[in-house]
Structure 1
Amino acid sequence: MVLGKAYTLSLVTAFDPARLTLPPEDRALSPHTGWTRAHWAAVADHLLLSLRPFFTSTRSQVRLPGPVSSSGADSDGLEGFARSFLLFAFRLAGERGADPHGFLDGYRDGLVAGTDPRNPERWVLPAEQAQAEVEAASIALGLQLTRPWLWDSLDDEARQRVVDWLALNPVGWYPDNNWLWFRITVETFLASVGGPHDPARIAADLARIEDYYQGDGWWADGALRNYDYYCGWAMHLYPLLWAGSEGSTAFGSASLAPVFRARLADFLDDFTALIGADGMPVLQGRSLIYRFATAAPLWMGALSGASRQSPGLLRRAASGELRAFLERGAVDARGLLTMGLYGEWPAMAQTYSGAGSPYWASKGFLGLLLPADHPVWTAVEEPLPIEQGDVRRVIRPAGWLVSGTAADGIVRVINHGSDHALEGDRTGDSALYGRFGYSSVTLPPLTGDAIDDPADSMVGAVDAAGRSTHRTGFARGAIGDDGGAAYAVSVADAHWVDSSVDGPAYDHGAGRTGRVTDGPLLATASVVRGSWEVRATRRLPRVGTVADPLPVRVSGWPLTDDAEAVTETGHGMVAIQADGLRSELRALPGIGGGEIAASVRTETGVSPIGRITAIPRLEFAEVAEGDVVVAAVRLGRGAEEAPSSRVVVTRDDVAILQVTWPDGALSTVRIG
């Protein structure tokens, strides 16, 4: 179910009211969400208390019901401990050691037992399973934050065992992405307690991470075009926690901290614009099962003093996200975070995800480190950007155009820069990275035929079997804003991918590999204003070849509900309506393309947000080299007048798209 501006679900749909007691809402302090620090504390305690039945006998693992990850049950048990330990650490440190529920004794016992090599329930070693390297960072960070109450209370033998286990982690292989921050975090903690560490390796990791920075506050998660929520809950979270940690000054944190703060400030200017009026962030990228971990950079803005946003806005954004996910069933009647997005939907997870993985949502509780008298808790909530008026932003590093409309509270991203790949790669599209469109109220089909046949928010050539091409590996083009609309361009060396020949894939967010069949070169320009995108695609010639015309399909926004969508079709147009939303496509004048057929693709059981997903489509029957097909694409509530357009080809064969908006404003962009 998709909610509008008003919160219409009771928390009893997500929680067992006998186990959770929330304080009364405070609409004077929090006019938008009603939530205060006491609400955050109550939810955090509920999550921690609900885990108690799932600790193993020595308290060293949290073994939760659900699917086992590719790393195995022992690794998943460590993951459940380490990620909830982080939540406990925020809670304990924020209360300056007060522990009315007695969490400290249990986590202390588990820490000592987990690092005891004689314990049958000991933690896995990184040589046995690399996932330990991830969880070691949460252990080190939690120890850093709770040092006066936990680390300082351990005897020498216990401390040495913890040091010995942590010291095993930095020496292994690490992926070239946010994992490097895990190693830095562990080694810096070890340095602070006199443990083994390698200053040269820390320096090298810091230098390598700097290569990921793309400007304007945005980090890619590694060397690929991976733009997603890891930018916030990893690449902005760990640097500033590290810079404030004991021992970090020996590795240059004093000079790096101001840089990290300035970058976070830039990022938050964009990030707050990516949250819908109902509190849901734009749904894009891997690891969405971490849910309200998306709030982490908001709290870091308050914790570090980096944000240009007011404390009231930061809290409104964070509380909106937490409440939005909880009201949609993120926590079940047992008090557990499930594998899924709203409620439980195991297919949502990557193969590295186990039942303990969703507890990285703990990062979203970072704000509990701040005391009750901090301005982020005492300031009156202020409206999100989308609640203040329409939003239009260009995020150049990610190749994104952001368009939010205050009338319906929806935020949309039109994507010409992220595909979890490199330019020239020939893999399949990842549903969560490769689409043209993402929003705060929609989600692409994540399973089924759409893996090899991209279904929504796409432009692709169509083969004899009816399958669309993929665009991963596209070349980026111009991006900007002309004052009346935002625009972006990319060129795809389109290709079909049959992933069945490679068998099951290890899913870490990227598209699948397989047998590749060449398709056409397709240059696509998007011009965006309000709820409309005008999407124009030109089939470019390949040097030295003459190609026959072929069908090209343009697809719109996917709508998902538990009931079938209502369909409306006409000449060159198709619209669907579901759960109060409207997704439509309208063919606009182009060059060539042949006959146009309108249809709706319907899938069942392919999305965690509802049972039935419907996608509007237009198919242009005969697109030759040089032809341009144009469609107006919309996601919104109710009907709205569409823009018009025309395509002009210059003497030197340059195609220009001219868009006229309903108020008479004109936007012009070169296609390709």
Structure 2
Amino acid sequence: MPDRSIRRRSPVALEHPIPTRADLSRDEWLARADALLEVARAHATPGAGRILFPGDEGGYGAAVDGLEGFARTFLLAGFRIAGARGEGVDELIDFSARGVATGVDPDAADRWVRMDEHAQAKVEAASIALVLDLTRPWIWDRLSELTQHRVIAWLAPAVGDDTYPQTNWVWFRLVVQTFLRSVGGPWSAGDVAADLARHDSFVRSGGWLADGPERAFDHYVGWALHVYPILWSRMSGAAELAGGRTPADIARLDDFLGDALDLVGGDGSPLLQGRSLIYRFAAAAPFWAGVIAGVPSHTLGRLRHAADRIVTHFADHGAPDAAGILTMGWHHEWRPLAQSYSGPGSPYWAVKGFLGILLPADHPVWTAPAEALPVESGDVLAAIETPGWIVSGTRADGIVRVVNHGTDKALAGARTADSPLYARIGYSTATAPLVDERGWLEPLEQSAALVDHAGRATSRTAMTLVSARVQDDADGRVGIGASVSDAHWVDPDPTAHRHGAGLAGTVSSAGTMRVVSIVRGSSEVRLVTVEELAAGVSADDLRLRIGGWPVASDAVRAGTDGSGAWAAANGRVSGIRALALDGRAADGVADVVARPDASPLGADVRIPVTEHPVRVGETVAVVLDLAGGAPQAAPTATLDRDGRTLAITWADGIRTVSTLTDSESPVPAARHHEVRSGTSHAIAKEQHA
């Protein structure tokens, strides 16, 4: 289990508890919600059964797009109506009821797609059932008897359907059947028990859950696997089905929120990691769920502030756009960020971030004093055991970084190409992985890969997590992460579907690679050892490439100086520098690689990299930095003769001594490495250009 004593858990332990920027009032939240709903109604079909936002048709066709558009904005309508207790929202109630009646009318031109016509209807049915329960006095109870029967008939195919993916989708069947049971429709106690058991199989340590059997740790943990249990427990009749499980669900959410708060950037940006990032401020949903559940360890003011900062971040950066529409992208429209099946209505799962408006005006959350995010209050350093992450946030620039040694959206032992959304070594709130076509085929940014003469780079999916911990000594604290991977090349099979996981194909092994990360502030000292090569693979045919943080903008400045490379834009600098070993000069060759149009954050994308000869059993060391404002000088470091004691003098003069475990040690016993480097003059010079 992780050492919880090193984690910020107490709301009163922060140095600067009051945020510098005022939060939205409830009226301002409602105004933003109403603006989204007004635009949605403007794009409704004549019967209001479908909402078709502008844009290219999604991978599942226009009929599914229209159902998504209705169901996902219906969530927001439900929050709005419930929070108003049905008062002053008559037009919204009438529109919503008309859309439901049309959607379940089998003869309507804009009826809803049925579950037996397309599986996506199973997802959208959960939103519809949830809102019909949430707004029961104002919508369901006013529907005609015929429409109620049609709703039941439209939802009924969920009962006994064993084709639901065994991921967060189990909640779609649970929510639908709970509603059906409450209105006298069909339901299955066996289905409910099976789905709850499957959810429990996702439970991991520290309040985390996996989205299925894979090592899939992403925003779905919060906006689906934690939110649905809380909302479900409030549905009519759910208490009888829950069997006393709700306190455990709340306790897990409470624990998870400590990590989730650490992962929000000082500018309100969520971590750019994992699939479905076009859902944007849905990342705020677990904080509102914590308010609704009454979690004991986090104050109302801090949870509301976290949700506020996330939603406001996107509003400040162009989402929704000038037409009031949430496009497929991050700040702006950028279609490659979406999944292959996504359509114009898909981004509206973002409205989960407005979950808090279902709380009435007299709820104490609206008057609780705002309290700052952890990274707004001080530097953050934490280890999260379940995903294998070291989290480092710096108050000076508000950037939160994650060094990843355990997440790849794959089963243990399953070798695929690396998913850029999951398997990179680093993610942050200020950078985005490269998710153009080449990014899915070739690990570059935040990677350590063996590259052959044909330019093929190895993947590390199915890496073994060695450690993710924080070492807290009198001289200073560092995060230590380590993993071992079977480095492999993948020639991918053709596929039309991209659901976030790495591409499968023909696999050939390159060798075994060990990566150890020592993290402090904006910097990581990364030790990479090729422990052995696969049979028939020659070191002479390979080079070791280590990629740094990607920088994207409309115009990026970049350069090299010997063993170092840097890229800078928007006041943020990414640097990488090879460090000397065994008293020898660093033999890494630095470069900056351009990948135009590969990032949702800008068309000009640059990645600082170093390349090194491959020497089996010999450790290569680099320092990577991502910071706002002036860059850090490169540290100096010494690895002791036993390969287990690493002393680092950081840029600010602090010296830390890390005792590595046998499994973390990057070199065999009796080897002695000295690692040294000076200040990156190229980066320093760039700051004054």
Q: Is 1:528 aligned to residue 509 of structure 2?
A: no
Q: Is 1:629 aligned to residue 643 of structure 2?
A: no
Could you tell which deviates more after superposition, 558-567 or 385-394?
558-567
Query: After superposition, what is the alpha-carbon deviation per residue over 1:551-593, rounded to whole angstroms, capped at 9, x for unaligned?
Result: 10111000011013232x2232112221111111121234699
Where does 1:8-87 land on structure 2 (aligned, <5 Å)? 31-87=20-76
TM-score norm. by structure 2 comes to 0.89
Q: 2:443 aligns with which of 441, 444, 454?
A: 454
Q: 1:497 aligns with which of 490, 495, 505?
A: 490
Q: CA–CA distance in 2 between the matches of 1:467 and 1:647?
A: 32
Q: 1:425 aligns with which of 394, 414, 425?
A: 414
Q: CA–CA distance in 1 between the matches of 2:403 and 2:357?
A: 34
Q: Percent identity of the aligned residues?
A: 45
Q: CA–CA distance in 2 between the matches of 1:144 and 1:94?
A: 14
* Compared CA separation, residues 175 and 400, structure 1 to 2 (3 A): same
Could you tell which deviates more after superposition, 514-523 or 106-115?
514-523
Long gaps (5+) in structure 2: 1-17, 667-689
Q: CA–CA distance in 2 between the matches of 1:565 and 1:543?
A: 39
Q: Which amino acid aligns with 2:460?
A: R
Q: 2:201 aligns with which of 205, 211, 221?
A: 211
Where does 1:594-609 land on structure 2 (aligned, <5 Å)? 595-609=587-601
* Compared CA separation, residues 30 and 619, structure 1 to 2 (3 A): closer
Query: After superposition, what is the alpha-carbon deviation per residue over 1:585-618, rounded to whole angstroms, capped at 9, x for unaligned?
Result: 1212346998321100011111111111100000
Partner of 2:611: 619
Q: CA–CA distance in 2 between the matches of 1:180 and 1:505?
A: 25
Partner of 1:557: 549
Residues 214 and 397, structure 1, Cα contact 8 Å, conserved in 2 = yes
Residues 265 and 308, structure 1, Cα contact 8 Å, conserved in 2 = yes
Give the number of aligned pairs.
Answer: 636
Where does 1:192-211 land on structure 2 (aligned, <5 Å)? 192-211=182-201
Q: 2:222 aligns with which of 232, 235, 244?
A: 232
Cα shift at 1:627 = 1.1
Q: CA–CA distance in 2 between the matches of 1:119 and 1:664?
A: 71
Cα shift at 1:547 = 4.7
Residues 123 and 172, structure 2, Cα contact 8 Å, conserved in 1 = yes
Could you tell which deviates more after superposition, 596-605 or 163-172?
163-172
Residues 480 and 517, structure 2, Cα contact 8 Å, conserved in 1 = yes
Long gaps (5+) in structure 1: 1-28
Q: 1:184 aligns with which of 174, 181, 185?
A: 174
* Compared CA separation, residues 176 and 642, structure 1 to 2 (3 A): same
Q: Secondary structure at the match of 1:297?
A: helix
Q: CA–CA distance in 1 between the matches of 2:585 and 2:230?
A: 53
Q: 1:149 aligns with which of 131, 138, 152?
A: 138
Q: CA–CA distance in 1 between the matches of 2:538 and 2:454?
A: 19
TM-score norm. by structure 1 comes to 0.92
Partner of 2:684: none
Residues 176 and 222, structure 1, Cα contact 8 Å, conserved in 2 = yes
Q: Which amino acid aligns with 2:325?
A: L
Cα shift at 1:656 = 5.9
Residues 513 and 532, structure 2, Cα contact 8 Å, conserved in 1 = no
Cα shift at 1:649 = 5.6
Where does 1:457-468 land on structure 2 (aligned, <5 Å)? 457-468=446-457
Q: CA–CA distance in 1 between the matches of 2:345 and 2:523?
A: 40
Cα shift at 1:448 = 3.6
Q: Which amino acid aligns with 2:290?
A: G
Q: CA–CA distance in 2 between the matches of 1:593 and 1:76?
A: 58
Q: CA–CA distance in 1 between the matches of 2:641 and 2:186?
A: 66
Q: 1:380 aligns with which of 369, 372, 375?
A: 369
Where does 1:57-456 land on structure 2 (aligned, <5 Å)? 57-100=46-89, 102-172=91-161, 173-253=163-243, 255-456=244-445
Residues 657 and 671, structure 1, Cα contact 8 Å, conserved in 2 = no
Cα shift at 1:413 = 0.5
Cα shift at 1:425 = 1.5
Query: After superposition, what is the alpha-carbon deviation per residue over 1:354-408, rounded to whole angstroms, capped at 9, x for unaligned?
Result: 1100110111111001112222211121111001100011110111110000111
Residues 588 and 610, structure 2, Cα contact 8 Å, conserved in 1 = yes
Q: CA–CA distance in 1 between the matches of 2:602 and 2:586?
A: 36
Q: CA–CA distance in 1 between the matches of 2:23 and 2:291?
A: 20
Q: Supply the RMSD in Å over aligned alpha carbons.
A: 1.8
Q: Which amino acid aligns with 2:551?
A: L
Q: Which amino acid aligns with 2:178?
A: T
* Compared CA separation, residues 657 and 470, structure 1 to 2 (3 A): farther
Partner of 1:6: none
